[in-house]
Amino acid sequence: MKTLTDHLTMYAEYHRDKRNIATHFVGIPLIVLSITTLLSVPALSFSLGGLTLSAAIILALLSSLFYLRLDLAFGLTMTALMIGMVLGGEAIVQAQPEQAVAIGIALFVIGWIFQFVGHYWEKRKPAFVDDLVGLLVGPLFLVAEVAFAVGLARKEKDEVLRRAGPTLIRS
């Protein structure tokens, strides 16, 4: 079973250009918000014992379990962020019910444009092409980058840098 550091290293190996990482700070949140928006539409919701659950809530729960299995602190942070994204997606659906699907699709497309621009600079394909788990690790990678930047998770940062190498700007 892969560890937190294993997942972050795998993802980092595809993300060593600082410009690519920067585009991911826009693209990944847009993609996650788009998915929670699309999965929050009433057609993808169901009731369970009087409680209405959307597909977005189920996906957020399963994702959070993945993150919590890797690391408690990162997992709790990711769980809080996933709750925020689900609430954001549900807010879009409630505010614009007729346009929610179009908004979700637009966010998805814009998010992926940012991703692909970053990978153009990186000169490397996205990590998920080789391992679909990369789709779950992307948001975690952003949280780790912030944690590393403020001096947290030093051991993990040092090991990821040792394995994946430093970030740079490719010419």
Residues of the chain with pLDDT > 90, as a percent, come to: 86
What pLDDT shows up at residue 171? 64
What pLDDT shows up at residue 51? 83
Q: Mean pLDDT for the chain?
A: 95
What pLDDT shows up at residue 54? 95
For residue 153, pLDDT beyond 70: yes
Domain boundary assignment for the chain: 4-164
What pLDDT shows up at residue 168? 87
CB 18 within 8 A of CB 167: yes
Structure confidence at residue 56 as a pLDDT band (50, 70, 90): very high
For the chain, what is the HEC assignment? Answer: CCCHHHHHHHHHCCCCEHHHHHHHHHHHHHHHHHHHHHCCCHHHEEEECCEEEEHHHHHHHHHHHHHHHHCHHHHHHHHHHHHHHHHHHHHHHHHCCCCHHHHHHHHHHHHHHHHHHHHHHHCCCCHHHCCCCHHHHHHHHHHHHHHHHCCCCHHHHHHHHHHHCCCECCC
pLDDT by residue (tens digit) across 84-126?
Answer: 999 999 999 999 999 999 999 999 999 999 999 999 999 999 8
What pLDDT shows up at residue 10? 96
